[in-house]
Chains A and B, each alone.
Chain A
Amino acid sequence: DVKVTQSSRYLVKRTGEKVFLECVQDMDHENMFWYRQDPGLGLRLIYFSYDVKMKEKGDIPEGYSVSREKKERFSLILESASTNQTSMYLCASSTRALAPGNTIYFGEGSWLTVV
């Protein structure tokens, strides 16, 4: 089975802190993604990466950065956490192949509360 593992399920951070959310996948997938999930808004793409050291902005990149130094690992960084970044963060991965219906696999999510 594909496994996408997010290092922290629940975090509480203070405003202004630097926050790292880590994600590891074990299927040698080229693509990795970070989404944010908020009630009524569905999932919104923050950043994605299609290769090591490559990154592309998603729909809501402001206030976030990412790092992909190894193929299996994709990190989301909040340089200076703010209360409006309190949310559920989901990591995902997929193969690069552009076949229709290409499946994306999700981690269990990280609940971040910024106080």
Chain B
Amino acid sequence: GNSVTQMEGPVTLSEEAFLTINCTYTATGYPSLFWYVQYPGEGLQLLLKATKADDKGSNKGFEATYRKETTSFHLEKGSVQVSDSAVYFCALSDRDAGNMLTFGGGTRLMVKP
């Protein structure tokens, strides 16, 4: 079956530090990959996505590149802000599985001023 593995948190950074949150996946088909963000007290919002190998998703200064050879979709940001403090979820959808989303366990990011 499909699965998503993300680094465990919490990740604590100072403002303006570089961020990487690792995500790897296993899938039987050819998945689309997503990063969702959950700010405190809110539901999940789509942050970015990529639908084929070597695609780069980007939004709000965050980027992630779909690497089929390493089955990875790591989230990066060059300079984090306090307002980026949230829980980040990596996810995949697989057409062979009816496009149902499979989520990783989530990584909490805390950015200190």
User: What residues of chain A have their CB less than 8 Å away from a CB belonging to chain B?
Assistant: 4, 39-45, 48, 90, 92, 98, 100-109
Contact = CB atoms under 8 A, between A and B. Distances in A.
Contacts of B103: 42-44
Contacts of B32: 100-102
A39 B38 CA distance: 13
B44 A90 contact: yes
B69 interface: no
Contacts of B43: 4, 90, 106-109
Q: Which are the 7 A-B pairs with shortest beta-carbon distances?
A: A106-B43, A101-B51, A42-B103, A100-B51, A101-B32, A42-B105, A106-B44
Contacts, number: 55
A100 B95 contact: yes
Contacts of B95: 98, 100
B35 interface: no
B100 A101 contact: no
Interface of B: 4, 8, 32, 34, 36, 41-46, 49-52, 89, 93, 95, 98-101, 103-106
A42 B106 contact: yes
Nearest to A111: B41
A102 B99 contact: yes
Contacts of A104: 46, 101
Contacts of B52: 100
B42 A108 contact: yes
A102 B105 contact: no
B13 to A, nearest CB: 20
A107 B103 CA distance: 16
A108 B43 CA distance: 4
A48 B105 contact: no
A40 B51 contact: no
